[in-house]
């Protein structure tokens, strides 16, 4: 597990401490830049980060190059799989019940889509109850989008060939 800010390696103990107190995966140096979480937000963030780690670990076991808490220039993505152009956001129940939050989520999805990233939003109780099964569906999704990427690359290569032939 690495620091979401500087990619420095963290021990399991450091990781647990950081998740508990900062709601993020940060090394000791980077923790100084962030204030510790206020109690009100602490429990919720701690729980959601724990759940994200569960899914993340399943995806790593399945052989995907997943990144936890990846910074996209605007905010941290819960789990990103950059080589598949897929972002995963794990939502608490407040995401669907709070109108303002729902609108923010939609804007974020649009922002990612403009960069050709697909965002999967997964409610956290689903992962909490069955992380491995959820990861199984995410896997199918990732494989399907990988196939699509491959097809696109092949199509581009074919176009390239056509261009080459025309030049001759
Ligand atoms: Zn760091």
**Residues 52 and 125 both lie in one domain:** yes
Residue 81 backbone class (left: φ over 0; alpha: ψ -120 to 50; beta: rest): beta
Q: Please indicate, yes or no, if residue 42 is contained in any of the structural domains.
A: no
Tens-place pLDDT, residues 128-166:
888 888 999 999 888 887 677 778 778 888 877 666 555
Distance 29 CA to ligand 1 centre (A): 6
Distance 21 CA to ligand 1 centre (A): 15
- Residue 63 has φ and ψ, to the nearest 5°, of 95, 10
**Residues 131 and 106 both lie in one domain:** yes
Q: Kindly tell me if the per-residue pLDDT of 5 is higher than 80.
A: yes
Distance 3 CA to ligand 1 centre (A): 5
**Residues 91 and 11 both lie in one domain:** no
Provide the whole-model pTM. 0.66
Q: Please indicate, yes or no, if residue 84 is contained in any of the structural domains.
A: yes
Q: Please indicate, yes or no, if residue 155 is contained in any of the structural domains.
A: yes
Give the structural domain span for 126: 47-167
Q: Please indicate, yes or no, if residue 118 is contained in any of the structural domains.
A: yes
Span of 40-49, 82-91, 121-130 with lowest mean pLDDT = 40-49
**Residues 20 and 78 both lie in one domain:** no
Number of domains in the chain: 2
Inter-CA distances, 26 with 21, 29, 78, 81, 130, Å: 10, 8, 14, 20, 27
Confidence of residue 9 (pLDDT cuts 50, 70, 90): very high
Which has more confidence, 22 or 163? 22
Taking the C-alpha atoms of residue 4 and residue 96, their distance in angstroms, rounded to an integer, is: 26
Span of 37-46, 58-67, 144-153 with lowest mean pLDDT = 37-46
Distance 23 CA to ligand 1 centre (A): 14
């Amino acid at each position: 597990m690495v620091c979401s800010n500087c990619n420095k390696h963290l021990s399991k103990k450091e990781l647990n401490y950081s998740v508990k107190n900062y709601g993020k995966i940060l090394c000791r140096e980077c923790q100084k830049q962030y204030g510790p979480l206020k109690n009100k937000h602490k429990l919720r963030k701690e729980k959601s980060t724990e759940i994200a780690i569960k899914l993340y670990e399943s995806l790593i076991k399945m052989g995907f190059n997943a990144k936890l808490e990846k910074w996209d220039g605007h905010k941290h993505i819960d789990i990103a799989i950059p080589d598949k152009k897929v972002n995963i956001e794990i939502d608490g129940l407040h995401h669907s019940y709070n109108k303002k939050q729902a609108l923010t989520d939609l804007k974020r999805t649009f922002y990612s889509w403009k960069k050709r990233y697909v965002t999967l939003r997964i409610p956290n109780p689903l992962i909490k109850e069955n992380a491995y099964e959820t990861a199984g569906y995410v896997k199918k999704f990732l494989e399907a989008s990988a196939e699509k990427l491959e097809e696109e690359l092949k199509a581009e290569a074919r176009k390239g060939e056509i261009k080459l032939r025309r030049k001759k």
